[in-house]
Structure 1
Amino acid sequence: MANTARMISTARRAAVVAAAGAAAVAMAGIGTGAANAAPEQNLPENCAQYSQDGGTTWGGTNVLTWSSDRPVPGGEIKHGSFKVKNTCEAPAVLQIYAGNWSISNGGSATVRGNAGSTQGTKKDLVGTPGLLVVQTNRLSKDTPVQVDLFVGIPSSETKQNFTIDPKWSVALEEVAGTPGDGGNGGGGNGGGSGSLDTGSLGSVFGSLGGKSAAKPVVTNLNASALHSAN
């Protein structure tokens, strides 16, 4: 009986040690910036780095600058132009949104985005927050992609003196694949779950609910609001 008790006690201690070891490994992965989410979940905010000088220096959203040009009916202005890269091991697609956007005084506006070789289409700034504007193919670690963001006003608009705040936002959605596998900044949907056909992701910016609590890791780029031409 004594031998049996000792065997049970030893087995329990081994199980506790194994569990503690697994927990330590998991915590180490978080602490070292392994930053693996899961396919169709968004990577941590610090995985995205930005450059305003063509890729010479990189930093957070504070390095970005924005145009104060005024759009006119029937035209659009380039609101922002910069590079983005995924600095984490997990491959991901870059998604650009008009987040919690707003337009004052009953005005109207359009948004458009280019990311790498993906030439986005013009979208009316209507509906719920979280309008998906453009997304790239898979980006592997440290693969930079050029982003250009545009704001316009429909030619039919007759109102004047209104403010357009697109609240440009980005997310890196992890996609299936081996970390570090061949990525590019090309066009297409890249395997991400955000839909360019439905054109919105209200669960990130609103209260519609999502696949999991991990999904809404989205970065507001802190873009300046624009004023329509008189």
Structure 2
Amino acid sequence: MRIGVITFPGSLDDRDAQRAVRLAGAEPVALWHGSHDLEGVDALILPGGFSYGDYLRCGAIASLSPIMTEVVDAANRGLPVLGICNGFQMLTEAHLLEGGLIRNDHGSFICRDQVLRVENTSTDWTSEFEAGQQITIPLKNGEGGFIASEETLDRLEGEGRVVFRYVDVNPNGSLRDIAGISSERGNVVGLMPHPEHAVEPGFGPDTAVAMRSGVDGLGFFTSVVRRTLVEA
């Protein structure tokens, strides 16, 4: 299986996402924002970072990059797409996901290991988890507050499209503690925390077993690999 990771000017976590893909048993394919060629990949990742310096709005300029025309078309055809942090912001700006992300309510950049509750295991990126499972994923953002109208929030809740919720603390003021959502079809998922930073022992969050031993993020990538192989 081949998973494309798109690099935009200002991307920081594209190499980390590629490594996560490789650890999950798939082949990472580096894609460039200025291209119109997805190179026949089986899934896509929009990584974290500060695309275009976060000018205008986070993800707004990147959502108009040439390759996003192909991303939107592919997502609408059912291709699995994961947006991580800045990638989540791009997905909302491209209207592949509803709502938006604004400045953290406390006004500061935050970096912490964040506990999440998995609310939806039927998406292309979460099938390896269990409903209600709590996982620890690194979080780092300055504009991670998820917002949407009450009508949209009610619809997301009612349709089971809230995929992750913050536990113990809401780190950025996201409405209803929402950390990640999905498209109606479940192939597009966006979240603010960074699963690619919790995929390898020795480099992840601390656990009761050992320092930096957390690998809860690997399930995102093995989920899409196994689901795609089963459907093939």
Larger RCO of the pair (alpha carbons < 8 Å, separation 6+) = 1
> One fold, TM greater than 0.5?
no
Greater Cα radius of gyration, structure 1 or 2: 1
